[in-house]
Amino acid sequence: MPVPTAIVDTRHVYDWVFGIYVPIGIGVFGFFTVTIIVVTVRFRRRDGRRHRLAGHNEANRLELAYAVVLLCIAAVLLDVTFRAEHLVDTASARERPALTVDVIASRWEWTFRYAGHGITHVSGAVGDAPLVVPVDEPVRFNLTSRDVIHGFWIPQLAFKRDAMPGTVERVTLDFDRTGSFSGACSEYCGIFHSEMVFGVRVLPDRRFDRWLARHGAGPV
């Protein structure tokens, strides 16, 4: 799949990946379930006699074919996944952000710093100071962690990226609808991991500008 040059909506890309994984997963699960049931019933021990197949058997060709099929499935899934990631990451990197927010994860809270506007929001362990963003504008997140690996996750928007200590990952996201959403940490990071939540408020453009003017110290 060629990487598009214009800004594109890549929300459907992971649906496409999911649509390939799920039927394969169901197929493999069904195959093994049926095989285990058939083998268990057909070759079960009867009348205390050993079945003629109970000894050591080799079926090298069959095993080889089985390994090759599994390898092919894994190769196709890897290819599909890396293509999708490349497509989304490239489209994301090419977007010009209208707003940049530093997202700093730490045990067990999120810090949202609006560079150049003098605003710092800390989620706290109960998610009280939200991430506030404008709708339909590319928002760039500089994502990092102060201690261990955390996961910046907004389930309703199907957005998730790891926050790694020692590196800053740049990702761009368009919020396509206004409203309030909840976010959480998706990587187990210690005793209060489940409390590492945050709110997301997506505002219409004008309201967002007013919010910036009201909370910020002006351009810094």
161 is an interface residue for Cu ion by CB under 5 A: no
**Closest CB 93 distance from Cu ion, rounded Å:** 25
Segment contacting Cu ion by CB under 5 A, of 10-18, 68-76, 178-186, 212-220: 178-186
From 37-45, 189-197, 201-209, 210-218, span contacting Cu ion (CB under 5 A): 189-197
Asked whether the beta carbons of 112 and 211 are under 8 A apart, the reply is no
Long-range contacts formed by 47-50: CB under 8 A, 24+ apart: none
By C-alpha distance, which of 183, 194, 196 is closest to 145? 196
Residue 163 interacting with Cu ion (CB under 5 A): no
- Nearest distance, CB of residue 150 and Cu ion, angstroms: 3
- If the CB atoms of residues 198 and 208 are measured against Cu ion, the closer one turns out to be 198
Cβ distance 101 to 112 under 8 Å? yes
Q: For residues 90 and 179, give the distance between their C-alpha atoms in angstroms, rounded to a whole number.
A: 27
Of the candidate residues 127, 150, 184, 198, the single one contacting Cu ion (CB under 5 A):
150
87 binds Cu ion (CB under 5 A): no
Q: Which stretch binds Cu ion (CB under 5 A): 49-57, 75-83, 131-139, 187-195?
A: 187-195
Query: What is the smallest separation between the CB atom of 14 and Cu ion, expressed in angstroms?
Result: 22
Stretch of 30-38, 91-99, 110-118, 184-192 contacting Cu ion, by CB under 5 A: 184-192
Outline where DSSP puts E strands in 39-137: 99-106, 109-114, 119-122, 131-134
CA distance 127 to 207: 22
User: How far apart are the two ends of the chain, measured CA to CA in Å?
Assistant: 42
**Site residues (vs Cu ion, CB under 5 A):** 150, 185, 189, 196
